[in-house]
Amino acid sequence: MALLNCLKALGFAVLLATVPTASAQERDPADWPMNLGSLEGTRYSALDQIDRNNIGQLVELFSVPLGGLLQGGGDFADALPISPLIEDAYIYITDGTGRVYKLDARERGRIVWRSEGHQEDINSWLEPSRGLAFYENFVIATTADGRLLWLDKQTGELARSVQVGDPLDGYTISTSPLVVDDHIIVGGNGSSRGALGRIDALDAHTGDPLWRVDTVTLSDGSGLVGGGAITQTGVYDAAAGLTVWVTGHPVPRFEPTSASMTNSAIAIEVETGKVRWHFQYVAADDHPNGFSEGGSHQIVPGDGEGKNITHFGANGQYHVLNLDSGSLQSSTPHVAGTLGEEEFGTGWADRAGCPNIRSVEAFASAYSPRTGLSYGAGADGCLTEAIPAIKTYSLPGWMGAYYSGAASHLGMLSALDPATGSLKAQYLFDFPLHSGVLATAGGLVFTTTAEGTLHALDDETLEPVWTHKFSSLTSVLPTTFAVDGRQYIAVVVGGNAFSGELPYRPREMSNAEPIFAVVVLGFPS
């Protein structure tokens, strides 16, 4: 690699051989090379050093403060749901103003380089980058004004900048790209600024456009309407040659278009850009209160040699689709069983404003081949009548007080079997859950709650095993990696866009600071 850098410095054009992107089965489990952990979107790690028996020994080993706390709306105290990538013991992450960092995990997060000056026109409607991708010797970053950047992994220097969409048309990029062989696929956002939803593929070597799919088209072909925004990275299956993306934010809501591809899964042939199928989860005219799909997809085993794709829907349904055809295999409530029709009545799913369980684009689900279960995290909007309100602190012997309506903001984690669609386990948190899930071979699933707690739960029963409280809020899902045979957990800690929705604030939150840092936990030496 040093020779290649020297040749480039001398002005030689160097053509690098395409390195196929590893799937969940092929990639080194020590690394975390993409936002959803794998091309299949499973957010599963084969690392098993941290397990149910020893997790109580985890401690914070080091933390690295990052710059910028800018969130859409100009709220400086909020941090975006930014997931770090890890490769060869180096952590790559963006900060709140879109700068990219390379940190050395072997040296307590020493900053190797930090990119400067590439993010432009950050304002209340143009959010900084939410994530990164790898391609050969490059880190692929996005900018709020609709560009893709190729940054040299070794130096952080800008090698190429390509304008994907025009910010004057409302276009912006709100999620990390998906790299498939020599394709970089990126989803466009900006529906609240009038932008049309779209998915673009670019040549990873040159940045040239390869194909584009508009995500919102009127059935009569008379024109386009806003919406169909992409706020979550897509997934890919090599055998089928398909990439699947979820669309949301049907805007304008007063022009419902049930024939559109908003709130849908869209399957696209990577080589040609042809839409093979799309499945609409929630039609805009069926739900005028504005459900918006934003959660991730997972590619999981199906019957025989076939595969399915799963999705925890914003309408409270767990959907299982056939990957090849898009046909619906099952659709069941993921608030069923212990928190289902028995409490709400048979018509609960049709009530206005309920269930508003997965309306946040930060949510990313997980799938564990160890258990064969899918894990969906959410912030519930339907439990006010189902469970008691939350009790506050009080002196011993005193009854204390209850906060009415607190239950409607609680976090919920559900485990379902994609083969049957049945609910296997469920856990309700005392605070909103606005991040996502990580599943590991150590028999654990990890998630964070909004007030700043990292949770580890049993991957079969969802019984809590261990918790760790940070000094600030967090809305970012955990990541795991290994260096020299030692497993670590990485969490971005900082402000939370949903902090205002917290039903109550315990005493230990009184000194919470609006920090923004990546924190790494592991076993003491």
Task: Decide: 72 and 125 in contact? Cβ < 8 Å.
Answer: yes
Q: What is the pLDDT of residues 79-123, one digit of tens each?
A: 456 789 999 999 999 887 788 999 999 999 999 999 986 776 555
The pLDDT mean for the chain works out to 78
Residue 468 amino acid letter: H
Q: Is 118 left (phi over 0), alpha (psi -120 to 50) or beta?
A: alpha
Determine, yes or no, domain membership for 395: yes
Which conformational region is residue 117 in: left (phi greater than 0), alpha (psi within -120 to 50 degrees), or beta?
left
* Residues 167-202: tens digit of each pLDDT: 888 888 888 999 999 999 999 887 777 777 899 999
Q: What is the pLDDT of residue 295?
A: 85
The whole-number pLDDT of residue 217 equals 62
**Cβ-based neighbour number of residue 52 at 10 Å:** 16
Q: How many domains does the chain have?
A: 1
Tell me the three state secondary structure of residue 249. Answer: coil
pLDDT tens string 459-483: 999 999 999 998 777 878 899 999 9
Residue 274 within any structural domain of the chain? yes
**What tokens were used for 62?**
């080091």
Distances in whole angstroms, Cα of residue 21 to Cα of each of 28, 37, 151, 183, 373: 11, 12, 18, 10, 25
Q: Determine contact, residues 199/275, Cβ cutoff 8 Å.
A: no
Please report the DSSP string for 52-81 in residue order.
TTTGGG-EEEEEEE-S---BTTTBTT----
CA 232 to chain centre: 6
**102 touches 91 (CB < 8 A):** yes
Residue 7 lies in a domain: no
Asked if the structure places residue 186 within a domain, the reply is yes
- How far is Cα of residue 267 from the mean position of the Cα atoms in its chain? 19
Domain with 363 in it: what CATH number?
2.140.10.10
> Is 517 part of any domain?
yes
Residues of the chain with pLDDT under 50: 1-25, 70-79, 218-224, 253-259, 287-289, 336-356, 358-359, 384-391, 399-407, 496, 498, 501
CA distances to 325, 345, 481, 524 from 55, in Å: 42, 40, 15, 12
In a domain, 1, yes or no: no
Q: Is the CB of residue 400 less than 8 Å from the CB of residue 394?
A: yes
What is the per-residue pLDDT for 511? 56
Residue 386 contacts residue 392 (beta carbons within 8 Å): no
What's the full length of the chain, in residues?
Answer: 525
Question: Rounded to an integer, what distance in angstroms lies between the CA atom of residue 75 and that of residue 127?
Answer: 11
Residue-range definition of the domain harbouring residue 185: 20-522
8 A C-beta contact, residue 29 and residue 43: no
- Please report whether residue 309 resides in a domain: yes
Q: How far apart are CA 403 and CA 407, in angstroms?
A: 9
Distance CA 281, CA 265 (A): 8
Cα separation of 313 and 191, whole Å? 20
Has residue 2 been placed in a domain? no
